[in-house]
Amino acid sequence: MKETTEAILAEPAHKRRRRKLNAMGRREAMWGYLFIAPGTLGVIVFTLIPLLFSFVMSMTDWSMLNTPHFLGLANYRELFQDKTVRREFQNTFLYAFGTAPIGVFISLVLATLMSTKIRGRSFYRVAYFLPYVSMPAAITIVWQWMLNSDTGIVNAALGALGFNKVAFMSDPKLIMPVMIFISIWQMIGYNMVILLAGLQNIPQTYFDAAKVDGAGGVKQFFTITIPIVSPTIFFLMIISFINSFKAFDIVYMIVGAHAITSGGPLANASRTAVYGIYEKSFIELRMGYAAAEAVILFLIILVLTFVQFKLQNRWVHYD
């Protein structure tokens, strides 16, 4: 590089070529800016500015109808003492802690079963994947009916087996497990597709060696499969956690029908942070307060995403 620079300085012919290169470079730069301009503008307008605005708004009492007053950290102080908000975050954590580990574990077991040479693999793969692309609002309605205590088929099946009816959809104690179940049901196919890719990278010789040592299927699962796909497992856990923190649709479909009684026990047991932000801003018109809750949620997701980024290079399936 240094050599060429000297050569260019020494010889006029090269000097001309350098000027030409510069012109080309300028042209390339101009096109570069042109290509990224619309996208960059979009990101500034629809992500960066709203983000900064959230922080500012979270320190005001804005309702969209009044002139906002600066409150400092008062919203945050209120937030930490607000029982409803505490419940929203408790529910969100409960939902995330229920969904992520159980969902990933079930997916791993199923993916392991599927990775053995069995027939109908691609059939199974599609069947398990379909819930993932289906509309959460619609499937919540179906599950609501299927789990209904009077007309639901799940209770009919329980009754046929001689069990008592279970009020899955109206018992506040059961609504969270039901939400976790529906969410796991939706996520399994996606987790499985990614795990299957990871499982295919395990050399068959590992299992053969284990078999010679007399290890059974369960032992192989815990001593070979889990350790080798552990980066994928961890990745999926973080992804599931982050997605669970954004839960809204299921809650809206469950609570929305009880909008009048949104302080009721069923709503209290199922409301999540994003639902709380929705309710505070668009029903109670406390934009500033809702923004403060959004900032807290953001900080939690930020930490989780940071962990994910740190671990991304350990994720095997990037080929």
Q: Which of residues 260-289 bind another protein (CB under 8 A)?
A: 274, 277-278, 281-282, 287
Note the maximum CA span of the chain: 97
Q: Counting contacts by CB under 8 A, is residue 110 touching another protein?
A: yes
Tell me: does residue 33 bind another protein (CB under 8 A): yes
- Closest approach, Cβ 205 to another protein, in A, equals 19
Distance CA 155, CA 20 (A): 79
| Stretch of residues binding another protein (CB under 8 A), selected from 13-21, 48-56, 82-90, 204-212 | 48-56
**Dihedral in degrees, nearest 10, Cα atoms 215, 219, 222, 224:** 10
Left (φ > 0), alpha (ψ -120 to 50) or beta: where does 182 sit?
alpha
98 vs 112, beta carbon nearer another protein: 112
Select 95 or 252, whichever has its Cβ closest to another protein: 252
In the complex with another protein, the residue whose CB is nearer, 95 or 190, is 190
Give the separation between CA 44 and CA 37, rounded to whole angstroms. Answer: 10
In sequence order, the β-bridge partners of residue 60 are 70
The answer to whether 306 and 236 have CB atoms below 8 angstroms apart is: no
Q: Which is nearer to another protein, 168 or 190 (CB)?
A: 190
Instruction: Tell me which stretch binds another protein (CB under 8 A): 6-14, 165-173, 201-209, 306-314.
Output: 306-314
Residues in 67-106 at the binding interface with another protein, rule: CB under 8 A: none
List residues bridging with 70 in a β-sheet.
60
Give, as ranges, the residues between 177 and 236 that touch another protein (CB under 8 A).
Answer: 185, 188-190, 193-194, 197, 217
